[in-house]
Structures are given as structure tokens and as C-alpha cells.
Amino acid sequence: TFCAQCHGKYHDGNGTVGQSFFPLPTDLRSPKVQSLPHGVLFKEISYGVPKGRQPPLAPTIAVMDRWQIITYVKSLGFRN
């Protein structure tokens, strides 16, 4: 619901809203994202990314749901 708009159906950063961004949203299967510790992902999802386009989602997504998003993102693995 919240992620696909920017990160895309295939998690590659090619969502419809994200196409207007420069740089494009991050590919969630990239080594950059997949190598981040769970706590860093939680912080970035919750409070946004300074000087980035990731909005703070803490007011919108419940704490447990944010942890589930992180588990899902990590389950994607690296893009080949």
C-alpha cells in the first residue's frame, strides 16, 4: 500500500509516483538495502531519510507492521 507507489510492483524503484523523483527510489533488492541492519531500516522507514525522498511513516504505519515490512524486504534477497 505505501511502498509500491514509489518502489514499484517489483521493488525496483520504478513505481508510478517514484518516476518523478531524482534520483529514483532505491531498488529494495539492491546490495545497499539488503546489507542494512534491521534497526537502520526501521529508523529510515519510521523517521524518513535525511536529504532523501523516503517519508517518515511512523504516523501512518503501526510499529509491528513496520517490522513486518522489514522482514518482507529482507526476504526479497539480492537482485540478480
What is the 3 state secondary structure string of the chain? CCCHHHHCCCCCCCCCCHHHCCCCCCCCCCHHHHCCCHHHHHHHHHHCCCCCCCCCCCCCCCHHHHHHHHHHHHHHCCCC
Residues in the chain, pLDDT under 50: none
Residue-wise pLDDT for 32-47, tens only, equals 999 999 999 999 999 9
pLDDT for 22: 82
Percent of the chain's residues with pLDDT above 70: 99
